[in-house]
Structure 1
Amino acid sequence: MGPAGEVLWDVALPASPSRLPGATMAGFADRGRTPAGLRLIPPPAVTLALVFGPGTVVLSGAAGRGSVVAGLGFGTTRVRQAADFSCVQVRLPPAVAGAVLGVRPAELGGAFVALDDLWGRDAARLAERLSETSSWDERFALTDAVLARRAEAGPAADPEVAWAWRRLVRTRGLVRVERLASEVGWSRKRLWSRFQAQIGLPPKRAARLVRFDHAVHRLVAGQEAAFVAADAGYADQSHLHRDVRAFTGITPATVAGEPFLTVDDVAWPSSR
């Protein structure tokens, strides 16, 4: 959705869940209305955008015009140019992403990276195959098969790290790091080190991102900031304001109308 409820993209969803645990997909087709300057808001996932077809998308701070990947908490990024593009967007749990991408999320540095730089010619081949495929169901099946095959050969995260990430998500970022460490049988220092290296953020900041995601979607749904702050575990409304600013660069009142967020209930219903 855009200003005044304008539909910016056609959205398609897969009929079946991904073979990769926790991974979700959605298909986007531009209606020629994606505005330059569109702000991208970081989800609690590694984001893979497989761009195909004749159109282009150019992001601030990202090289090239094709498919991109971004680690957790990628910061304030905007669309510089977009025209008649289609893409399969995949949200990967960070504990799974390292195996799929061939590099740990920490190596992405919280920035958008051209998929060509990670996969070489395989990125272009996948884009070509997606362009040649006639239906979204086939595109989702193709994407899932490629990602599942890559996941089998890539580096797996420690089971303790994967469990700690899932626990953060289930508790909406409200579990303390000390408790996480105790539950996996590690010292706080060991959990911090392994988690940072394999997930891409230290546990405390990852918890902030998960909590922010929950809170910001409550704001999009029209709930009052004071209520959201209390319910999401913030110390007060000012604390919520600071976190929204830190992850988006804008205020809670402004973020509630961002198109990148308002489409989430359609594109990612299972995560709401």
Structure 2
Amino acid sequence: MGGQFRPARPPAALRPHVLRYLGYREESAVPVQRRQAPAAGVALVIGFHPLELSGPELGATSAAAFVGGLSDSWVLTRFTGPQAGVQVDLTPVGLYTLLGGRALPNGAVPTLDELSDPVLAALPDRLAAAPDWPARFGLVSDVLAARLLDLRARRPAPEVMHAWRRISATGGGLRVSELAAETGWSRRHLQARFSAQIGIGPRTAGRVLRFARASAMVTGSRAPLAGIAATCGYADQAHLGREFRALAGVTPGGFRAEWSGFPFVQDEGPAAGQDRPA
């Protein structure tokens, strides 16, 4: 199996909502399966070849270009033969703005064609025709800038954006009651508005972000699992193990083994867990 992976940073103006680009090109004569666990961001995959997708919430499907919303469950990807494209890692606030004021429900993975957005649907063919990775990244940046930097674009409510920033900054360590007090909303109103504009509720978002930090440490280091559990706010190593089985379908050790040796498993950071190619 051979592979080419080209990470790139988006232009500075896009970085508040666009975490990273990853160009990828692989080919394998035997099936390649990868486990995509819950992550702190969402992945816009602009692929050129069909990819098999399956999971406990998703079922089984096949798609080349799609977007995965925030989720508290895992997805398995599988391919044989060629795979190539560009993965764009976005914050959920960025995705809401990109989609014109629309959040994806927990675990939703619509294809770009299903979004009824001709500009996004045309991206796979445009990128495939581009001569090299810089040209592809430039095309993606132009499309994203036209949406994300438009002053007329629909964005989440300021209170929702504040809550998301606080959950992100604390790694999921804030109680919903604290977030509600900071926004001036009731817990029920925050839950409803946050879910509608981010895709999952604030409590679930905290759980996902805590797990994303832990999974990045599991794959990005050889640190003892007990230490990772303590650092990420779990009661103990057993608690960490239960969360891995619930959210990733595998033990922490099994997750580490699956991703060991992969060249672009990111160290702990804001896009933790969201930099692996689909």
Do Structure 1 and Structure 2 share a fold, with TM-score over 0.5?
yes
Amino acid of the residue matched to residue 234 of structure 1? Y
Distance in 2 between residues matched to 1:140 and 1:267, nearest whole Å: 23
Give per-residue Cα distances to partners, 1:5-53, cap 9 Å, x unaligned: xx8632112254363323122111114278443222221112110012x
Structure number with the higher strand fraction is 2
**2:125 is equivalent to residue 128 of structure 1:** yes
Partners of 2:38 and 2:73 within 8 A in 1: yes
**2:96 is equivalent to residue 101 of structure 1:** no
The TM-score normalised by the length of structure 2 is: 0.84
Partner-residue secondary structure (3-state), 1:85: strand
Q: Report 1:100-249 matches (<5 A).
A: 100-102=98-100, 104-105=102-103, 107-151=104-148, 152=150, 154-220=153-219, 221-249=221-249
Partner-residue secondary structure (3-state), 1:250: coil
Q: Report 1:8-87 matches (<5 A).
A: 9-17=3-11, 19-20=13-14, 21-24=16-19, 25-32=21-28, 35-52=31-48, 55-60=49-54, 61=59, 63-73=61-71, 75-87=73-85
Partners of 1:45 and 1:93 within 8 A in 2: yes
Amino acid of the residue matched to residue 240 of structure 2? L
Distance in 2 between residues matched to 1:143 and 1:43, nearest whole Å: 22
The structure-2 alpha-carbon separation of the partners of 1:228 and 1:268, relative to structure 1 and needing over 3 Å to count, comes to closer
Paired residues in the alignment total 263
Partners of 1:10 and 1:28 within 8 A in 2: yes
Partner-residue secondary structure (3-state), 2:86: strand
The TM-score normalised by the length of structure 1 is: 0.86
Structure number with the higher helix fraction is 1
Which runs of 5 or more residues in structure 1 are unaligned? 1-6
Give per-residue Cα distances to partners, 1:76-112, cap 9 Å, x unaligned: 321233431211111111122112124632x444132
For 1:89, the equivalent position in structure 2 comes to: 87
Partners of 2:106 and 2:200 within 8 A in 1: no
Which runs of 5 or more residues in structure 2 are unaligned? 273-278
Partner-residue secondary structure (3-state), 1:181: helix
Partner-residue secondary structure (3-state), 1:90: strand
